[in-house]
Amino acid sequence: MSELTKLTIAAARDAMRKGELTSAELTGACLKAIDGADALNTFVHKTPEIAMHQAAAADARRGADAPSLNGIPLGIKDLFCTKGVPSQAASNILEGFKPEYESTVTTQLFADGAVMLGKLNMDEFAMGSSNETSCYGDVVNPWRRGNDDTALTPGGSSGGSASAVAADLCLGATGTDTGGSIRQPAAFVGITGIKPTYGRCSRWGIVAFASSLDQAGPMTKDVRDAAIMLQAMSGHDPKDSTSADIPVPDFEAALTGDIRGKTIGIPKEYRMDGMPAEIEKLWADGTAMLKAAGAKIVDISLPHTKYALPAYYVIAPAEASSNLARYDGVRFGHRAKLSHGDGITEMYEKTRAEGFGHEVQRRVMIGTYVLSAGFYDAYYNRARRVRALIKRDFDNVFAEGVDAILTPATPSAAFGLGEMAEADPIQMYLNDVFTVTVNLAGLPGIAVPTGLDAQGLPLGLQLIGRPWEEADLLNVAYSLERAAGFVAKPTQWW
């Protein structure tokens, strides 16, 4: 039975279409696996009744022409509002919040027959790279360093999604990515994660972090599954004015594996000082694989890369401080107990001090500072100008004929929980060095597992594509995936 949960979405779909498997069986197996995996702390709100109900509906609809996701059990990041189901963004300030509405992305997934197993742990308000800022506690990576039982981070902020997929608790999961939160955790657990072009998926009903950067995307066992899930998640939504009204191509059909004649750029600025030799080697190996598959490899320059991280850590907190102003103790979730004589100011202050964790408070303070009248030009406007230059770097290389860019996904393999947290936030921010540029430029980016390090931990490479060309990007990723042949799985200890 437990083997069922190891199926890819495509394999489960095909088996269900042929009548060899029911969604009820598959969903039941996932629910059992989830109940046996509390040590990973991935599912923070389990929804077995909803899941079995959706599975029965999917089984009734089963047939050759059912949508690809019909009957497929998924996990949903806690950042997505799901009707009547706790949606807390892993924050105490949203304690008890059950939305009256369903996010557009989850509405689309369920319309295609997907089954919701529950809500997945994450960093509070998606701020973090290690899943250590969650009000539900840390998520644990199913992978371990050899025989060492140190608990490792799955990355963040979509750490629950990453661990749940890697541990075969669900067939796929939703994630969101503002600065790397799909790609970095995917790389840390050896799965695939794509952040589509900004505007490809509706942000409606997803708790906002930094609205000009946030995008939803799938986290899956392989590239084909990412194509299938992204298809269902994408499309124009009149309720999100930044969602693009352009057709969604058939992403799965684009997976031919033929990349002959494609030009792949290798950006010299992504070769960081002190980069581990293993990451260097992984990158060189990936480059060689794409070359062997018939791509032309060119060296490129993205000269403003070094300013991306500082610009991101001005823009993202600025937008967050504005978005999070709505958590005032009046409209949603938690309200502090007030003392006699407390007025409205005390209510805001006490509620926000109790409800927000340290990292969120730090971001709100930084954001408020960079947006304040005296510093707006020096920080916020300057960061916006840097952002435009970063985008122009990418526009230039694409105009020169580059189809996709290959980089490492992360500067290291998964680190131990507690090894980097709190002590030095800047150290933590460095995790996003290869991913934030993509959000600042609004481009699609995908992390593909390509190897293991000396300690047996997964490592991933990132491919960055032209705007709106996810189909092409997925195909390059598919080619890399086939060449890398990454099939390792964590040994079950939980």
Cβ contacts of 171 within 8 Å, gap of 6 or more: 5, 7, 8, 9, 12, 26, 30, 72, 73, 74, 165, 220, 221, 225
Q: Which of 77, 119, 195, 262 is catalytic?
A: 77
**127 part of the interface to ligand GLN, by CB under 6 A:** yes
Chosen residue from 103, 107, 163, 181 binding ligand GLN by CB under 6 A: 181
Closest separation in Å from C-beta 25 to ligand GLN = 35
For this structure, is 157 an active site residue?
Answer: yes
Closest separation in Å from C-beta 436 to ligand GLN = 7
Rule CB under 6 A: which of 415-434 touch ligand GLN?
Answer: 432
The count of residues interacting with ligand GLN (CB under 6 A) is 13
If we measure between CA atoms, which residue out of 476, 487, 407 comes closest to residue 449?
A: 487
**104 part of the interface to ligand GLN, by CB under 6 A:** no
Which of 23, 323 has the CB closer to ligand GLN? 323
Chosen residue from 121, 129, 131, 462 binding ligand GLN by CB under 6 A: 129
Distance CA 443, CA 466 (A): 6
Closest separation in Å from C-beta 172 to ligand GLN = 19
For this structure, is 321 an active site residue?
Answer: no
Which of 188, 398 has the CB closer to ligand GLN? 188
**40 part of the interface to ligand GLN, by CB under 6 A:** no
Rule CB under 6 A: which of 275-294 touch ligand GLN?
Answer: none
Binding segment for ligand GLN among 5-13, 127-135, 216-224, 393-401 (CB under 6 A)?
127-135
Distances (CA, A) of 194 to 217, 223, 429: 6, 9, 20
Q: Which of 163, 181, 234, 412 is catalytic?
A: 181
Which of 230, 483 has the CB closer to ligand GLN? 230
Closest separation in Å from C-beta 320 to ligand GLN = 8
- The DSSP bridge partners found for residue 192 are 220
Chosen residue from 157, 215, 220, 305 binding ligand GLN by CB under 6 A: 157
If we measure between CA atoms, which residue out of 257, 267, 256, 261 comes closest to residue 295?
A: 261
Binding segment for ligand GLN among 178-186, 382-390, 417-425, 449-457 (CB under 6 A)?
178-186
**218 part of the interface to ligand GLN, by CB under 6 A:** no
Q: Which of 68, 129, 134, 157 is catalytic?
A: 157
Binding segment for ligand GLN among 124-132, 138-146, 419-427, 479-487 (CB under 6 A)?
124-132
Closest separation in Å from C-beta 322 to ligand GLN = 15
Distance CA 435, CA 179 (A): 6
**179 part of the interface to ligand GLN, by CB under 6 A:** yes
Rule CB under 6 A: which of 308-367 touch ligand GLN?
Answer: 316
**131 part of the interface to ligand GLN, by CB under 6 A:** no
**206 part of the interface to ligand GLN, by CB under 6 A:** no
Which of 72, 127 has the CB closer to ligand GLN? 127
If we measure between CA atoms, which residue out of 247, 138, 129, 111 comes closest to residue 177?
A: 129
The single residue listed with the structure tokens 């002590």 is: 423
Chosen residue from 78, 112, 138, 177 binding ligand GLN by CB under 6 A: 177
Which of 300, 309 has the CB closer to ligand GLN? 309
For this structure, is 2 an active site residue?
Answer: no
Judge whether 136 and 90 are in contact, CB under 8 Å: yes
**215 part of the interface to ligand GLN, by CB under 6 A:** no
Closest separation in Å from C-beta 183 to ligand GLN = 9
* Amino acid residing at 327: Y
**209 part of the interface to ligand GLN, by CB under 6 A:** yes
Say what angle helices 308-323 and 358-370 make with each other, to 10 degrees: 100
Closest separation in Å from C-beta 411 to ligand GLN = 13
Distance CA 320, CA 82 (A): 22
Binding segment for ligand GLN among 48-56, 171-179, 290-298, 484-492 (CB under 6 A)?
171-179
Sheet bearing 263-267, strands edge to edge: 43-46, 115-120, 73-77, 172-177, 215-220, 192-195, 445-452, 458-465, 404-408, 263-267, 296-300
Binding segment for ligand GLN among 122-130, 270-278, 337-345, 400-408 (CB under 6 A)?
122-130
* Amino acid residing at 336: A
Distance CA 428, CA 432 (A): 8
Judge whether 80 and 103 are in contact, CB under 8 Å: yes
Judge whether 216 and 174 are in contact, CB under 8 Å: yes
Closest separation in Å from C-beta 161 to ligand GLN = 12
Closest separation in Å from C-beta 318 to ligand GLN = 12
Number of neighbouring beta carbons within 10 Å of residue 322: 16
Closest separation in Å from C-beta 103 to ligand GLN = 16
Structure tokens at 64: 């050759």
Binding site for ligand GLN (CB under 6 A): 126-129, 157, 177-181, 209, 316, 432
* Catalytically annotated residues: 77, 157, 181
